[in-house]
């Protein structure tokens, strides 16, 4: 009996597998492919995701693989700036830079290498889920070894489908889909430059040009990406041919300057599932939601799903919480993911319009718009309380010696306390969980601004509860809020 079976080992699945295995849970990790898909797909993650990777223990390894991003600019056909979404090139409130460029195959390789270190992780590539059936104490799975056709039987307490937009598990759950009315076909082109091209710039550029909406992305190393919307005169059957691709890219780069790595047609969609859980079956990542790429948050949403779900599965499997805790996974994550997707759709309406009059209206709407950071909405209702602080991320400080305040916590609950409350907190907690003393300026400022002396922090770094006084601290500790249960 495995504790959790994970279907699909993309970024969401392998992140979830790591966080479960780190808790000592027995994980069955399946992927039908023989190896990691070698070509670029996701090219961005944010500081919150790097913080999750820090919990897993791979952040240091990733730093040599990524590039800090200065952000994104939206310009019209005349080159006028419409929206400035610049990111600080300094460490932000997550304890990491706000925005990173990455190469997805490298990220997945690093995550899989970490997963392979856990004896409790049973990794099976070239294995595909055929079907599963829920029982009173688990889920019976029929799995096919695609290398020889052999059908195997396995059992797990829970199954999580991280199996993408055509998710088998989502179908078994019977989840409905909310379509947020975004469906445009684009060609995505990845190239590797033969030489440096500083003139292309480090900013991502959204070309809000009715003649041909497009996007430029500066990747890691010599990699660059262009995404170009198909127009009525384009032939989808021939648009990905090299001759057609180089014609599309001619204003930026020529065949003498770069190697064509991947052209691919995509339909950018915005979809949110309703029903992320049915008893012992759950979904995460693209199986639960799809977003157009205009905020670079597709993979990020899946990483957040994994970080939210893993500690809840662990608590239920260990008997520390009832199964109702798993219901908070969707109630917390669905509105959070939907807010990012809805914003991406709104931005897409600016980028993708092909009517000059409509574009002018949208230029006026966004004329004063300027994003300075990745939005950080609160979670939906669930396993948290604490007023306006509940369900929001706590900051992380970088200490003078280069360490970070999450380093001694791991993927676990912790109590963040002001120096004035340390003695009392230690006596009350009595070693039941890590205590982080807010001595770094970032944490001191956050606690003073929030008017609290303590915060109970969940493994995903969201606030579970707060205390404004010593007596509230005692209530926070003495109540069962130190256990991973649903807030009252």
pLDDT (mean) for 3-24: 98
- Kindly report the backbone phi and psi dihedral angles of residue 73, in degrees, each rounded to the nearest multiple of 5, phi listed first: -130, 140
The pLDDT value recorded for residue 80 is 85
The pLDDT tens digits for 265-284 are 999 999 999 999 999 999 99
Contacts of 244 (CB under 8 A, 6+ apart): 238
* Least confident interval from 204-213, 242-251, 368-377, 472-481: 368-377
Token pair of 351 as six digits: 């980028």
User: Residue 377 carries which DSSP code?
Assistant: P
pLDDT digits (tens, 9 = 90+) for 311-353: 999 999 999 999 999 999 999 999 999 999 998 998 888 898 8
Q: How far apart are CA 484 and CA 142, in angstroms?
A: 32
Q: What is the CATH number of domain 387-482?
A: 3.40.30.120
Residue 393 is encoded by which pair of tokens?
């991320």
Between vectors from CA 133 to CA 132 and to CA 137, what angle results, nearest 5°? 120
Domain definitions of the chain by residue range: 2-68+94-177+270-324, 387-482
Residues 6 or more apart from 136 whose CB is under 8 A from it?
none
Structure tokens given for 475: 């209530």
d(CA 245, CA 243): 6
pLDDT for residue 484 is more than 80:
no
> Over 80: is that where the pLDDT of 367 sits?
no
Distance CA 208, CA 77 (A): 6
Mean pLDDT computed over 109-114: 98
> Per-residue pLDDT for 362 more than 80?
no
Angle at 362 between CA 201 and CA 79, to 5 degrees: 30
Query: For residue range 132-150, what is the model confidence (pLDDT) as tens digits?
Result: 999 999 999 999 999 999 9
Q: Same fold for the domain at 2-68+94-177+270-324 and the one at 387-482?
A: no
Q: Are 431 and 388 in contact (CB under 8 A)?
A: no
Kindly give, in sequence order, each residue whose CB lies less than 8 Å from that of residue 22, ignoring residues fewer than 6 positions away.
55, 56, 57, 118, 410, 411
pLDDT at 274: 96
Mean pLDDT of the 397-414 span: 93
| 55, pLDDT greater than 60 | yes
Residue 376 pLDDT: 82
pLDDT, residue 482, reads 59
The whole-number average pLDDT for the span 95-122 is: 97
Residue whose token pair is 């807030």: 487
What is the pLDDT, as a whole number, of residue 485?
60
Q: pLDDT over 90 for what percent of the chain? A: 82
DSSP-assigned states of every residue in 75-130: EETT--EEEEEE--SS--TTSS-SEEE--HHHHHHHHHHHHTT-TTEEEEETEEEE
Q: What is the pLDDT of residue 488?
A: 41
Considering the entire predicted model, what is its pTM? 0.95
290 pLDDT more than 60: yes
Q: How confident is the model at residue 258 (pLDDT cuts 50, 70, 90)?
A: very high
pLDDT of 480 higher than 80:
no
| CATH architecture, domain 2-68+94-177+270-324 | 3-Layer(bba) Sandwich (3.50)
d(C-alpha 263, C-alpha 266), whole Å? 10
Strands 214-218 and 204-208: antiparallel
Backbone angles phi, psi at 103, to 5 degrees: -115, 110
Inter-residue contact 205 to 199 (CB < 8 Å): no
Give residue 366's pLDDT. 66
Give the Cα separation of 343 and 170 in Å (integer).
Answer: 25
Averaged pLDDT, 215-228: 97
- Report the C-alpha gap between 180 and 382 in whole angstroms: 24
Comparing 16-25, 388-397, 423-432, which segment has the lowest mean pLDDT? 423-432
């Amino acid at each position: 009996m495995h504790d959790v079976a994970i279907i699909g080992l993309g970024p969401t699945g392998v992140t979830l597998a790591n966080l479960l295995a780190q808790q000592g849970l027995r994980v069955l990790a399946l992927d039908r492919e023989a190896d990691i898909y070698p070509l670029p797909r996701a090219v961005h993650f944010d500081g919150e995701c790097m913080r999750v990777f820090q919990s897993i223990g791979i952040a240091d390894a990733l730093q040599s693989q990524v590039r800090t991003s200065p952000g994104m600019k939206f310009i019209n056909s005349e080159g006028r700036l419409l929206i400035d979404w610049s990111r600080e090139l300094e460490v932000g409130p997550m304890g990491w830079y706000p925005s990173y460029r990455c190469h997805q195959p490298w990220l997945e390789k690093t995550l899989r290498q970490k997963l392979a270190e856990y004896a409790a992780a049973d990794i099976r590539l070239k294995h595909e889920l055929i079907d599963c059936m829920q029982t009173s104490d688990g889920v019976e799975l029929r799995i096919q070894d695609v290398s020889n056709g052999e059908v195997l039987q396995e059992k797990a307490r829970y199954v999580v489908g991280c199996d993408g937009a055509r998710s088998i598990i989502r179908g078994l759950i019977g989840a409905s889909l909310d379509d947020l009315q975004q469906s445009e076909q684009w060609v995505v082109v990845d190239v590797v430059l033969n030489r440096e091209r500083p003139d292309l710039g480090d900013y991502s550029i959204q070309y809000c040009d009715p003649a041909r909406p497009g996007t430029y992305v500066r990747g890691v190393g010599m990699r660059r990406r262009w995404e170009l919307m198909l127009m009525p005169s384009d032939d989808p059957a021939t648009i990905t041919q090299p001759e057609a691709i180089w014609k599309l890219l001619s204003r930026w780069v020529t065949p003498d300057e770069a190697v064509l790595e991947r052209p691919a047609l995509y339909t950018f969609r915005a979809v949110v599932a309703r029903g992320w859980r049915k008893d012992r079956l759950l979904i995460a990542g693209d199986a639960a939601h799809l977003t157009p790429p205009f905020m670079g948050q597709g993979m990020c949403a899946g990483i957040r799903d994994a970080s939210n779900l893993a500690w809840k599965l662990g608590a239920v499997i260990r008997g520390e919480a009832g199964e109702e805790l798993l219901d908070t996974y969707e109630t917390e994550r669905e509105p959070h993911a939907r807010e990012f997707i809805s914003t991406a759709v709104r931005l897409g309406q600016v980028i993708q319009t092909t009517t000059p009059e409509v574009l002018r209206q949208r230029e006026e709407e966004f004329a004063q718009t300027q994003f300075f950071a990745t939005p950080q909405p609160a979670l939906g209702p669930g396993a948290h309380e604490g007023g306006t602080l509940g369900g929001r991320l706590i900051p992380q400080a970088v200490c003078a010696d280069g360490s970070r305040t999450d380093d001694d916590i791991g993927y676990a609950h912790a109590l963040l306390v002001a120096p004035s409350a340390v003695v009392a907190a230690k006596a009350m907690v009595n070693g039941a969980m890590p205590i982080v003393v807010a001595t770094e300026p970032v944490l001191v400022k956050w606690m003073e601004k929030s008017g609290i002396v303590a915060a109970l922090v969940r493994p995903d770094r969201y606030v579970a509860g707060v205390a404004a006084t010593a007596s509230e601290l005692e209530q926070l500790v003495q109540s069962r809020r130190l256990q991973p249960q649903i807030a009252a």
